[in-house]
Amino acid sequence: MTTLEQNLEKLSGYLARFREQGIPNRIGGEDRPAMSGATFDNHSPVDESFICTVARSGAADIDAAAQAARAAFPAWRDFGAENRKKILHRIADRIVARADEIAMAECWDTGQAFRFMSKAALRGAENFRFFGDRAPSARDGQALPSPTLMNITTRVPIGPVGIITPWNTPFMLSTWKIAPALAAGCTVVHKPAEFSPLTARILMEIAEEAGLPAGVWNLVNGFGEDAGKALTEHPAIRAIAFVGESKTGSMIMKQGADTLKRVHFELGGKNPVIVFDDADLDRALDAAIFMIYSLNGERCTSSSRLLVQETIADEFQKKLVERVNRIKVGHPLDPATEIGPLIHKTHFDKVTSYFDVARKDGATIAAGGEAVGGEGYFVKPTLFTGARADMRIAQEEIFGPVLTAITFKTEDEALDIANSVEYGLTGYVWTNDLTRALRFTDKLEAGMIWVNSENVRHLPTPFGGVKASGIGRDGGDWSFEFYMEQKHIGLATGRHHIPQLGK
């Protein structure tokens, strides 16, 4: 295993070109600064040091990228699914070859620990392989014969699409959205998050090296309120795949209304992990800890609310406190680190503000509840106990390594508490009572539920949330449903009667 020092030396090599050249846009296969000439500075959350300048784009840059995506669309649509599959596999190969660079850049840009980011880079490669393999069947439809017609359905790519990604695990999430769009035959304009632009650029380079034709994938950097907004409003862009906050999703829906955008939203969450007293408590403990404290808690599917049955609550929470206090906070490139710094000062201020909220609302801070101090945006892994379901710490998405524990007496009470939030992304249920598991999961308001398991993503399954956690699903064939249009063709099978007017 490499040491922190070795990793830092490698990182310095990887970052040199960003420092020297900054990150321009990539439009139609060419590097271009923002047309206004504007840039913004990108800093690392680890020590607040300068990483590079980034193009700060506006509507004119988005327009150029959308025109490039529109021009590239017919050839890419007609390129042949087998050819698309080959390119997507070549992208995956190159991601694997540069996984170390991707993981380190991601750690430095986002503050995520290397142990998770090295896996996230490889997951990104898997996304390209998975959707590449499915490209040849993406157009498949159904035969629905009626008495006079052979009705067939087929799918065609919707056209140029806009993809807007957030700063948490930006590499993996970009691959998750872009791979199915390309496999479907769409062209792409990608606007990555302003807080973490490094790996979107590396991914774009990889795609072009793998033989992706110019203009099929365009990268435009900038802020949400200008570049992001312009992308959602552009008439050439047929659909917007968005991952981010619920309130941003709501804005995008309004912005896209005039051009009738199709949208797919993956939004926030306040996901419950519900532990009944008949569960395997050791495994439940491991999973609950992993699902909130890995990835710095900056994870949409994190189990940020622990609902624990009263009969076992004291013992369970005691063990939890011991474990939380032992979680290693440190430099993201230290292989031993489990939690790194939060992404940005703004987010750090938001997360730490909940420590006072918890105190004021009368919850107990059983672990953490303070910043680490010194440079960087490090906070101690935090556990609130004695919380009530109506407290802000139990209702609002904090998006940090912060867990709110609430006790319950009965299954009905657990369900009421679980469903009492505006979100509904995931739920985790721990019980050895099969009938209860079936009953409970049926009523739990969430798009994805795991029983006696942490979140284990299986790519063919649907991913998405209900309520304020999202609209639509992706994964497997669901991704193609979004990036493609269904087309019905009815072929007459004989000379059926056609009504004759004006005869």
Residues known to be catalytic: 266, 300
* Residue 351 in the binding site for ligand NAD (CB under 6 A): no
How do strand 30-32 and strand 25-27 relate by DSSP bridges? antiparallel
With contacts defined by CB under 6 A, name the span among 13-21, 89-97, 247-255, 319-327 that binds ligand NAD.
247-255
**How far apart (Å, rounded) are the C-alpha atoms in residues 303 and 281?**
16
With contacts defined by CB under 6 A, name the span among 201-209, 210-218, 248-256, 364-372 that binds ligand NAD.
248-256
With contacts defined by CB under 6 A, name the span among 2-10, 48-56, 140-148, 188-196 that binds ligand NAD.
188-196
Binding mask 463-502 toward ligand NAD (x if CB under 6 A, else -) reads: --x---xx--------------------------------
Query: What is the SS3 assignment for 410?
Result: coil
Nearest to 323 by CA among 273, 282, 373: 282
Q: Which residues pair with 52 in a beta bridge?
A: 42
* Residue 124 in the binding site for ligand NAD (CB under 6 A): no
Of 284-313, binders to ligand NAD (CB under 6 A) are 300
Whether 302 and 456 have beta carbons less than 8 Å apart is answered as no
With CB under 6 A, what is the number of residues at the site for ligand NAD? 33
**How far apart (Å, rounded) are the C-alpha atoms in residues 467 and 452?**
24
Of 428-467, binders to ligand NAD (CB under 6 A) are 465
How do strand 364-367 and strand 382-385 relate by DSSP bridges? antiparallel
* Residue 229 in the binding site for ligand NAD (CB under 6 A): yes
With respect to ligand NAD, which residue has the nearer C-beta, 252 or 292? 252
With contacts defined by CB under 6 A, name the span among 117-125, 144-152, 206-214, 227-235 that binds ligand NAD.
227-235
Whether 482 and 241 have beta carbons less than 8 Å apart is answered as yes
Q: Report, in Å, the least distance between residue 214 CB and ligand NAD.
A: 24
**How far apart (Å, rounded) are the C-alpha atoms in residues 259 and 439?**
42
The single residue among 58, 166, 197, 472 that binds ligand NAD, judged by CB under 6 A, is 166
The owner of tokens 């556990």 is 383
The single residue among 51, 91, 164, 203 that binds ligand NAD, judged by CB under 6 A, is 164
Please return the burial class of 330, using the count of CB atoms within 10 Å of its CB with bins 0-12, 13-18 and 19+.
middle
**How far apart (Å, rounded) are the C-alpha atoms in residues 31 and 28?**
9
Length of the chain: 503
Interacting residues with ligand NAD (CB under 6 A): 164-168, 173, 191, 193-194, 223-225, 228-229, 232, 243-245, 248, 251-252, 255, 266-269, 300, 397, 399, 425, 465, 469-470
